[in-house]
């Protein structure tokens, strides 16, 4: 009898733990959210997204902490996004292949996922100091991108972050950067205004291939 009671108790505990890890999906306004651990993540949208979209800081009393994987993938209606101060991460592919031209990244943002803005129509980007991680291919082939200013608290530019951003004219990198990985700025041949971080030690293969910076680094 004691054994049966223990088994029932164990099953009850497992059910409680399992149910607490299941995310609930809801739609609120134009956006779809995943709710988990008393917080919300934007995971998609219904219908024609507004051209200028301001993500709310909370939904149903819960803070909106992230933009989920592929949340706005291939969204051809979106033009501009304003993020609330509660956003901590932008997941992989979140705005990839979308018509997004402008986004205001909030102070408090911690990470930008792999390919988060790849193939989008971004014209410029400012990455605040709070950001601690920018994954590979984050701005892969953003051919409309003209300027990128990074104040993030990072020491590495990962591979192919700005791969073939062919109209990138101006870049600002933090002096904390120690390594720029393979093909990070590959074929960004329009770069004319730039700075080389004081702490830079390692430059990967093809990091600045096809740019003026390639020749500058070779001459040093």
Q: What is the tens place of the pLDDT at every residue in 53-111?
A: 999 999 999 999 999 999 999 999 999 999 999 999 999 999 999 999 999 999 999 99
Percent of all residues in the chain with a pLDDT value above 90, rounded to a whole number:
81
Q: Pseudo-torsion of CA 106, 110, 116, 118, nearest 10°?
A: 80
Q: What residues are paired with 25 via a beta bridge?
A: 34
φ, ψ dihedrals at 2, nearest 5°? -65, -40
Which residues have C-beta within 8 Å of that of residue 104, sequence separation ≥ 6?
A: 81, 82, 83
User: C-alpha 34: how far from its chain's center?
Assistant: 18
pLDDT of 49: 60
Using the Cα atoms of residue 43, residue 118, residue 48 and residue 123 in order, give the sign of their dihedral.
positive
Q: Select the CATH number that applies to the domain covering 50-219 from these four: 3.40.50.10130, 3.40.190.10, 3.40.50.720, 3.80.10.10.
A: 3.80.10.10
Which residues have C-beta within 8 Å of that of residue 77, sequence separation ≥ 6?
A: 48, 49, 50, 51, 99
User: C-alpha 70: how far from its chain's center?
Assistant: 11
Q: What is the tens place of the pLDDT at every residue in 31-46?
A: 999 999 999 999 998 7
Give the strands of the sheet with 179-180, arranged side by side: 156-157, 179-180, 202-203
Question: Is a pLDDT exceeding 60 seen at residue 7?
Answer: no
Question: Is a pLDDT exceeding 70 seen at residue 6?
Answer: no
pLDDT of 47: 62
Give the strands of the sheet with 170-172, arranged side by side: 124-127, 147-150, 170-172
If we measure between CA atoms, which residue out of 134, 140, 202 comes closest to residue 168? Answer: 140
């Amino acid at each position: 009898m004691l054994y049966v009671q223990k088994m029932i108790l164990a099953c009850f505990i497992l059910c409680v733990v399992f149910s607490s890890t299941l995310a609930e999906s809801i739609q609120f306004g134009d956006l779809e959210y995943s709710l988990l651990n008393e917080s919300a993540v934007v995971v998609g949208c219904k219908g024609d997204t507004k051209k200028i979209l301001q993500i709310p800081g909370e939904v149903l009393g819960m803070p909106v902490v992230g933009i989920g994987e592929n949340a706005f993938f291939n969204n051809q209606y979106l033009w501009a996004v304003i993020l609330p101060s509660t956003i901590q991460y932008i997941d992989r592919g979140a705005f990839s292949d979308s018509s997004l031209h402008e986004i205001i990244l909030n102070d408090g943002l911690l990470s930008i996922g792999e390919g988060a803005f790849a193939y989008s129509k971004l014209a410029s980007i400012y990455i605040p100091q709070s950001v601690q991680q920018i994954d590979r291919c984050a701005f892969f082939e953003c051919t409309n991108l003209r300027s990128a200013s990074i104040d993030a608290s990072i020491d590495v530019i990962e591979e192919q972050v700005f791969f073939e951003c062919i109209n990138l004219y101006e870049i600002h990198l933090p002096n904390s950067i120690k390594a720029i990985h393979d093909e990070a700025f590959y074929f960004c041949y329009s770069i004319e205004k730039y700075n080389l971080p004081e702490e830079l030690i390692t430059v990967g293969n093809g990091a600045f291939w096809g740019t003026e910076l390639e020749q500058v680094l070779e001459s040093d």
